[in-house]
Amino acid sequence: MSDSSQTVAVRPGEELDTGIVARFLADHLPVPAADVAIEQFPGGASNLTYLVSAGDKEYVLRRPPFGTKAKSAHDMAREYRILSHLHEVFAYAPRPLAFCSDASLIGEPFYVMERLPGIILRRELPEGLTLDAGAARALCENLIGVQAELHAVNYAAAGLEGLGHPEGYIARQIAGWSDRYRKARTPDVPDNEALMTWLADNQPPDSGRAALIHNDYKFDNVVLTASDHGLAISGVLDWEMATLGDPLMDLGASLAYWVEAGDPRPMQLIRMLPTHLPGMMSRREVVERYFQVSGLDTERFDIYYVYGLFRLAVIVQQIYYRYTKGQTSNPQFARFGEFCTVLSRTAEAVAGGADLI
């Protein structure tokens, strides 16, 4: 079975100075400053993730993307601090090992963490891996269960009570993502003014159920390991957007990535994950399962789904904007404007009453 978390050669323009990284490791970890090699993980569209091999040891290095970035985004110190507390109380969080605040070394602050080996699912299953319908459904249940487990973490006891401000979270998110969209919009994508107005007018009130939320929880941000009972989640990655907020907003953000086998062709074109396979839950089943294991509920989940779709549209548009300005050369971003349009139109349809959950 192929490990779909396997690395590739570092993309041009995203190289790291091997000598500088080697010296940092030697100063902070029991690693000799020699025999260091760096490769890149191909997934992800935000922070950059590298595999650093030093002899028989492997580490993961995370740094912000190259080019112009939003001031509040890509905070390596914050991400490192989250993991420093979280890995003690949430078994799926990787252990952080060393943080560097000196941007002069590689151009940005960065941190190093343990590598969690395993399988990561992307658009298509990795070579040699098959999932029958039963295994696919069990994996969905595992995915939802781990998300609910995260939402049940006692964040105050874990020392993470200062991570965010749950009061007013929903209103801030809708206003904030709307502002970011307007700033990142290019002429070839919808203006989304009617959609942003709908979100503002239909936002639910604060629920008072604050939780630690991941904000990008999906199949390609979890690590799977094989056992006699099939695949199971052994790790959760990419904590850059984690905060304190409404867990149903987190679920809505996750559902935005969930493309079913019966969805129309435009949605199939933007599918990023193997959620279309036989046995995979429908979006409605995902929501119902989450309600079952978490004890939460709502009569209007369409609002959270529309929010998730719009939020994802903003994320891909921000990346597309950077691509159009020449701030990143990653060729996978060339179609992100099209992705933004599909997500925006789908959000409009749900807001207009389409039964897509």
CA distance 144 to 155: 19
Task: Report the DSSP pairing between strands 230-236 and 222-227.
Answer: antiparallel
Q: Where are the domains of the chain?
A: 18-114, 133-351
Tokens representing residue 114 in the block: 């343990």
Per-residue pLDDT of the chain (357 residues; tens, 9 = 90+): 445 457 889 888 899 999 999 999 999 998 776 789 999 988 655 789 999 998 888 999 999 988 655 545 679 999 999 999 999 999 999 999 999 999 999 999 999 999 999 999 999 999 999 999 999 999 999 999 999 999 999 999 999 999 999 999 999 999 999 999 999 999 999 999 999 999 999 999 888 889 999 999 999 999 999 877 789 999 999 999 999 999 999 999 999 999 999 999 999 989 999 999 999 999 999 999 999 999 999 989 999 999 999 999 999 999 999 999 998 778 889 999 999 999 999 999 999 999 998
Assign a CATH topology to domain 18-114: Phosphorylase Kinase; domain 1 (3.30.200)
CA distance 318 to 341: 13
Question: Contact, 283 vs 306, CB < 8 A?
Answer: no
- To which residue do tokens 């605040």 refer? 101
Cα 27 to Cα 50, 94, 284: the distances in Å are 19, 21, 51
At 222, is the secondary structure helix, strand, or coil? strand
Q: How many Å is the maximal CA-CA distance in the chain?
A: 60
303-319 burial code (b ≥16 CB/10 A, e <16): bbbbbbbbbbbbbbbbb
Cα 117 to Cα 49, 193, 285, 289, 356: the distances in Å are 14, 43, 30, 28, 35
Assign a CATH topology to domain 133-351: Aminoglycoside 3'-phosphotransferase; Chain: A, domain 2 (3.90.1200)
Q: Torsion over CA of 164, 165, 170 and 171, rounded to 10 degrees?
A: -120
SS (H, E, C) 197-216: HHHHHHCCCCCCCCEEECCC
Which residues, in sequence order, are bridge partners of residue 111?
62, 99
Tokens representing residue 22 in the block: 């080697």
